[in-house]
Structure 1
Amino acid sequence: MKLSLNQWTTRRWTVAEAVEGCVRHGVEAIGLWRQEVAAQGPAETVKLVGDAGLRVSSLCRGGFLTGGSQEAMDDNRRAIDEAAELGAACLVMVVGGLPGVPAGQGPGEGFSRDLPAARERVAEALTLLAPYAGERGVRLALEPLHPMYCADRAVLSTLGQALDLAEPYPVDQVGVVVDTFHVWWDPELFAQIARAGARIASYQVCDFLQPLPADVLLGRGMMGDGVIEFAPITRAVRQAGYAGDVEVEIFNADVWAADPDTVMSTMKDRFASLVLPL
């Protein structure tokens, strides 16, 4: 298990700066975001990452499938193509909340309270997207989000729900993300990690802050600054057979405002002292 920088942790850095930062700090992999890749240029990003000898541990993100629009499906196909071009280990899929509830906003046009129907739309979309991804050598990684994001970002709230959707497909087409911020609370977590086995496509870590800030999206903290005990989760993920990169993905205004090189140094220290010990 090797450390990876998810680009959003050092949000002030461009792709080029993040790649340079990884090289400078001896981090061997990077998780990229689509909008930042677009700003840098896909071909230039491929060259930067390749010249630096980095792995692309993930591309964020696809998903938002619950609205049922053709536009969303087309965008997900583009995301799959981008992941293939980058050689990303997986495309992270944040599947979307209730129809008509944009991320971070209240109900609007097309709003529906029908949660089972929203989850069924995700399942239906996967029947089209999984084969498309498989043809291009891309692995979709379904990410369950903490239940507080169910209405506007992800109707998948548990690892078990994500696995239920993934199971009809080959493991190299559809896997799951284990993100400590989102799943640490789940009483079924360790049983579901064991069940996941080779389905684990990405392991992401950050801490769960208490109290949460007013904008709960920014409640992700540096490991050790919140309430999560990481080592047992890491042990379970490793015992399930995962040997890939471990991404640190933090959404936090203070972390973003800090010097990115200081963030990188702290991230490495906390990874070694809190995440890896078994």
Structure 2
Amino acid sequence: MWNAPSLRSLVREIYFSIYVENPAVDPAVDVENLLGWTAVIPPEPGLRTLYVWTNDDAGVSASVLERAPALRAVRNLRLEGPTSASLLSIPRRIESLNIVSLMRLTLPPLPHLQSLSITDPSVTIVAGSTYDHLQNLELWTATSSIEILTGLHRWAPALHTLSFPVDISISWEDIRVIVNPLQCLPPSVRVLRVCLPLALQLPFLGAIEVLHVVMDPLRHEDIHDVCELITPAAKKGSLKAVRLAGVTESQCLRKCIQDQGLGVRVEFGEVLGFSARK
């Protein structure tokens, strides 16, 4: 890249992975040569996607990346490992943010944020903060849900899609961690993605229109629980579709819905990726 000026303006996505086998013994990675070329990427049109993963950073990687004017254009940012949170202050318009383990971060004001994925219990939302354009929220672990879910309807008033942990082996303790601060789903949420054990403990489905449920393929009797879960929401008139992952097509469930005249579309398929808005 140092000697390819014609290619610099074409760079739109960068994926960095810096791994030190034994951070306590190995010499420091030559971060300057590894990342320094990002500074020669033109600021316009700049980058759109930046993924950074490292197991040993101490802010060195961030200090090098901060020199790259092209990072100001980044809209999709994924930070994984002990990466300096200072990278969040560089882009002018972060629309999608993915935060993965080993970070301590207080989420800064991000006025353009539309999608937030969190796999870390150390991320906090400042009281009084508002993310008016946030439409998609993914919480991959129960421990990352406690503070995030408190006052969710206030700090994410336009939230459209809410995704909870989909591990069917989730413990009752983790279920309580999620359900307790969530007395009700925000009224703006229309799409809910969740595993069945957790779904059964939610107070009610609110205005959910599309429900994605991950089930245990060895427990076909859970189909009856699904019917009981969706019946109240369907009778209310809001629920339009249910997609079940992990089980084969069930005529029993279809018949249950038809017999009650619920008018809900039932689909069966694999576990869906959480990034796409449905």
Q: TM-score, normalised by structure 2?
A: 0.34
Larger CA Rg, structure 1 vs 2: 2
Q: Which has the higher helix share?
A: 1
Q: Which structure's relative contact order is higher, taking Cα pairs within 8 Å and 6+ residues apart?
A: 1
